[in-house]
Chain A
Amino acid sequence: MLKDRLRSEPSSPSLHSPPKKSGPGQPQNRASNGLDQFFASLQDQESLSILDFSGASQANISFITSMGHRIYSNDALRTMEEAFGSGGEFIANQSDPERAALFLRENLEFADRSFDGALIWDTLQFLAPPLLQDTVDRLYRILRPQSSLLAFFHAEEKAQTAPLYSYRIVESKIMSLTPRNQVRPVQYFNNRSLEKLFQKFHSVKFFLTRDHLREVIVRR
């Protein structure tokens, strides 16, 4: 599976850099203004529906359900691998209409305006156009007006690789990042390209952090 591969196997030339010598690292807590803003947008509300692309984790499930919300959990990396494979054709396969449809069906086939928030983490940076825009359009459709979406993009333009993490919620503004591997992003996103990507949405807010992770809060 892609996740396992990203954790431990040598990388393919198209997607992954050479693997870390030490394998997956230890979890590190990190403050996140984006996460804080995301949960602030849910404040004083209960029984909201939150989409989480990080895969099932006790931390995320417990945190969100303890706020009185409902979580819909899916492992987007796993469904990416199911749809596009994990080898050198990973990016090329995204142009295959059938594979792209499978990815969208597995991850984002919900009724319109189903969710009050979405934790997308860094999933989008592994998607190539036109699937990337199709995915964002689908997110727009399944989110309710005024809802928020949190996404991360690695912000180091010249970096050949970017770290891939497992994201776990510790507190409303603290998350735990467990490094899996170094990954080559499909493309680099600056503020302008992100504004264009989310142009259907009401607003886009950026938080550029010291560790070159661009946190983005998008309001539907």
Chain B
Amino acid sequence: MWNKRKEEEYPPKSPATPPAPASQIKENAPMSTNPAPSHHVTDSRGPAVIGKSVMIKGQIFSREDLTIDGEIDGSVELHEHRLTVGPNGKLQAGVKAREVVVLGTIHGNVEASDKIDIRKDAKLVGDIKTARIVIEDGAYFKGSIDIARPEAARTPGPAQPKPQSANSPASTAASTPATAAPTPATAAAGDSR
């Protein structure tokens, strides 16, 4: 069952094409002064994947869908794309994406302009700002959920309530005009984005 889900969740990979040795590529490449279009490379290998043995400290920006099954300490931004945190994925990071699917662990605030999907056995500790949320029974979530409506998202609102605990991630600014929302008192490293 788990394997089935994994297969469903991970972006389908294009037929495996073993990478050709550098020398072979050089020999087969057409002679041209024009640089090869970058999308050609992307399309041929499918969505980007950070494997489970990879650990990255720093900022990740992606202009394509991304699957993370390794460890990230920093921030992840895929503004118009989908981020999938695989079952082995561990993010200590703020996340911004169009859609976020969580099967692993995220410690950090998540902004998903379209949707966030927290699957069974996933763990998310942080504040969520999104238009839609799906959370399965068995998932662990600790934090606030702010449903950002399109019209409200454009209007900055007052600060939201945030937990005081250093363990609790800081909330992002409120998106809906309203009374002040709860706020952890001593926020961890704030998301400055």
Contacts from A to B (Cβ < 8 Å): 46-49, 51, 55-58, 61, 65, 68, 70-75, 78, 105-106, 109-111, 114-116, 142, 144
Contact = CB atoms under 8 A, between A and B. Distances in A.
B133 to A, nearest CB: 6
Contacts of B156: none
B184 interface: yes
Contacts of B165: 105-106, 109
Contacts of A46: 176, 178
B189 interface: no
Contacts, number: 104
Interface string B174-193: 10111111111110000000
**Top 8 closest pairs, chain A to chain B, by CB:** A47-B178, A114-B182, A114-B161, A56-B141, A109-B164, A109-B165, A49-B181, A72-B144
B98 interface: no
B15 to A, nearest CB: 37
Main secondary structure of the interface of A (DSSP, over half): mixed
B81 interface: no
B128 to A, nearest CB: 9
B160 interface: yes
A214 B42 CA distance: 60
A73 B164 contact: no
Contacts of B160: 49, 70
Interface of B: 118, 133-137, 139-147, 157, 160-165, 167-168, 174, 176-186
Given A46-B178, A115-B161, A70 B135 contact: no
Nearest to B176: A47
B184 to A, nearest CB: 6
A48 B146 contact: no
A46 B174 CA distance: 13
Main secondary structure of the interface of B (DSSP, over half): loop
Nearest to A104: B165
A139 B137 CA distance: 27
A56 B137 CA distance: 8
A110 B137 contact: no
Contacts of B180: 49, 114
Contacts of A110: 161-164, 182-185
B178 A72 contact: no
Contacts of B118: 56
Contact of A78 (B140, B144, B145): B140
A73 B179 CA distance: 19
Contacts of B162: 110-111, 114
Contacts of B144: 49, 70-73
